[in-house]
Chains A and B, each alone.
Chain A
């Protein structure tokens, strides 16, 4: 564009976006004053540092595992390759586990991407919308109407994820600063399936056996209660009770007996 012609707002904003994400300095042609280059670098470092801080909040164990310098370097490369899409940085970082899985300098730490995948599920659980779980009375009332075709679901904070390399154990011991326990973990273990939730504002991670995993996956996938119980066989009633007692069942599709209301996490 000609330096003499006024730039449209959109041109200016695209040039700034290229400056922040890619390090391009074409925007300086649209500015005036002696300190424009330095000023632009303040915006760029503010962007990279601010977004990296948000990533560090969602991936604290990954950060402790690799150290601050490595984390920040990886974060800056990731931010440039996949910048934020919304105005709420809690949404940002879903692609970071996949980025780490492909990140050459982290190749010697095969469990890192798995810990990151677990931490992303945890971050989502911690920020998920509040919901009132079904009580036993709610469930009884729903089941009385039509148990066979009833479709239950999970409360929004529940996440189910598969991780390998003992990532769930590594996560726990890093959080507990249990270096001895950490050293004793065998990172060459195959995949395990875990349920992630929050309780009193803190994350919980529980390993699931195959039956509990299938049951939970069926719940979140919208299966009818009749199909779920049939597939689970003898274990069905106790699996259903487990989710109910943990407060992880939410209203049935087509309306719960009480409309969901906000509930304190505490």
Chain B
């Protein structure tokens, strides 16, 4: 490995541009360092860069030339036990090292009674859960000394005693804690299909000023024995046409927003992600042009 390392500090400005970026995975480290592709920003999973060694060193090298967003999967923001202080301390170490433009995690939970289930698990959306999530987000924002974004999850089950619609829940967390919303358009589509929600109504319930990032990804569909279809958010394919249409609708509501292409199962070469990002960028450009024409 040859990574020049004469400085600890990232040098590229931190701010995430209003443009289509790409989720960076391990197989992309060397191609990105060697070829410096034209990609406006990257997002990585925070937990993959904890500790020391070669992997965080790759990210140091990439950060010198690109803005980076840190996307967490391990804070368990909906956990009834509260935030794991040791995990928060390690997230903070990564934040201090990378100086990211954005920091985010999910409206979900993963840890209870000292066991970490390493999945983005669904929450019953009740007043009790709202209080827990807000307390946890407050603690994270205090511990990191900065705001975070909270992403709407995809889900495969729903609880009988849920009382608050998911978009209203997100908005209330953002209102009470000051966090922003990361709007995952694919997740809205997947959950809307699985639970019979109206995806357009979901988007309409989100105030544009709260939306600071959009995620796009592919999902798969499993046809069950009774003929029902369960959509599974496996991040293992290109973005499907219905999700592109929903993205265009989101842009028309929110205006252009930093948008990320995610791919986590059978991760393809960076060029495949760049092609997806180019589609998102063209839709964003059309929105910007439309807005300018109207103005």
Contact = CB atoms under 8 A, between A and B. Distances in A.
Interface of A: 3, 6-10, 12-14, 16-17, 20-21, 27, 30-36, 38-40, 42-43, 46-47, 50-51, 54, 83-90, 126-131, 156-157, 198, 200-202, 261-266
Contacts of A85: 114-116
Given A16-B117, A30-B161, A51-B118, 18 more contacts: A9-B128, A13-B109, A30-B160, A31-B159, A32-B159, A35-B224, A83-B115, A83-B117, A84-B116, A86-B86, A87-B111, A88-B87, A127-B55, A262-B97, A264-B5, A264-B57, A265-B1, A265-B52
B85 to A, nearest CB: 12
Contact of A264 (B60, B112, B155): B60
B74 A266 contact: no
Given A38-B222, A127-B53, A17 B5 contact: no
Interface in B18-58: 47, 50-57
Contacts of A51: 118
Contacts of B68: none
A87 B80 contact: no
B50 A34 contact: no
A34 B225 CA distance: 12
Contacts of B97: 262
Contacts of A89: 47, 118
A47 B117 contact: yes
A77 B97 CA distance: 37
A54 B47 CA distance: 12
Interface of B: 1-3, 5, 8, 47, 50-57, 60, 73-76, 78-81, 84, 86-87, 90, 97, 109-119, 121, 123-124, 126, 128-129, 132, 155-161, 194-195, 222, 224, 226, 228, 230, 232
Nearest to B222: A38
B157 A39 contact: yes
6 contacts: A13-B109, A90-B50, A90-B51, A126-B53, A131-B52, A201-B1
Specify which of A6, A130, A156 lies most central, judged by the most chain B CB atoms within 10 Å of its CB. A6
B51 to A, nearest CB: 4
A127 B47 CA distance: 12
Given A87-B87, A262-B8, A264-B3, A128 B156 contact: no
A201 B29 CA distance: 14
